């Protein structure tokens, strides 16, 4: 079980996100360049610790780490303590919420399944749009699809 922050919040949930990007914006970037770009956005928005997610997954399935799991993220207002936030770098613009997403690639799907399965104590996987009026991450997230 991962414990987060000074209050040692138990981490039982993963919240999925997408990058709010125009089609192709990240197409030719390395994972580090994507990380650095999002880190700059979050720093400019005043996030004290920069990059607000715990990791990102590129369209080819490559994972790049963000905040340590033991650090509270900045990715979902009201739900940051006790959750991990992961960012899917999707291959096209998100225009609606689908059940079966075509926004992420099979490689991202596999990488995310491996990632979720590798973290102890997770009981729930949810979408940013479950908690905020957003499209993010562009598809319905059901725990049983990922755990
Ligand atoms: Zn989000």
Q: Strands (DSSP E) along the chain, which ranges?
A: 3-4, 9-10, 13-18, 55-57, 63-65, 83-88, 124-127
Distances (CA, A) of 2 to 29, 70, 122: 31, 7, 9
Residue 23, pLDDT > 70, answer: no
Distance CA 74, CA 37 (A): 16
Q: Which residues in 67-98 are b (16+ Cβ under 10 Å) and which e? A: bebeebbbbbeebbebbbbbbbbbbeebeebe
**pLDDT, mean over the chain:** 92
Q: Which CATH class is domain 3-146?
A: alpha beta
85 with 17: CB under 8 angstroms?
A: yes
**Dist. CA 130 → ligand 1 center (Å):** 10
**Dist. CA 85 → ligand 1 center (Å):** 8
**Dist. CA 3 → ligand 1 center (Å):** 22
Min mean pLDDT across 4-8, 18-22, 34-38 is at: 18-22
Dump pLDDT digits (tens) for 61-104: 999 999 999 999 999 999 999 999 999 998 777 888 887 767 88
Residue 24, pLDDT > 80, answer: no
Q: What is the pTM of this model?
A: 0.94
Dump pLDDT digits (tens) for 100-118: 767 888 999 999 999 999 9
**Dist. CA 127 → ligand 1 center (Å):** 8
Task: Check residue 94 and give its pLDDT.
Answer: 81
**Dist. CA 138 → ligand 1 center (Å):** 9
**Dist. CA 7 → ligand 1 center (Å):** 24
Task: Check residue 83 and give its pLDDT.
Answer: 98
Distances (CA, A) of 40 to 37, 72, 106, 112: 5, 18, 29, 24
**Dist. CA 90 → ligand 1 center (Å):** 12
Cis before 138? omega within 30: no
């Amino acid at each position: 079980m991962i414990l987060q922050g000074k209050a040692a919040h138990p981490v039982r949930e993963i919240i999925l996100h997408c990058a709010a990007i125009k089609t192709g914006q990240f197409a030719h970037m390395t994972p580090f360049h994507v990380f650095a770009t999002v880190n700059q956005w979050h720093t400019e928005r005043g996030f004290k610790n920069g990059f607000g997610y715990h990791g990102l997954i590129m369209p080819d399935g490559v994972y790049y780490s963000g905040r340590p799991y033991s650090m509270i993220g900045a990715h979902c207002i009201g739900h940051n303590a006790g959750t991990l936030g992961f960012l899917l770098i999707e291959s096209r613009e998100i225009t609606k919420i689908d059940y079966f997403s075509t926004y992420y690639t099979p490689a991202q799907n596999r990488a995310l399944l491996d990632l979720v399965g590798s973290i102890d104590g997770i009981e729930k996987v949810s979408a940013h749009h479950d908690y905020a009026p957003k499209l993010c991450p562009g598809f319905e997230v059901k725990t049983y699809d990922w755990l």
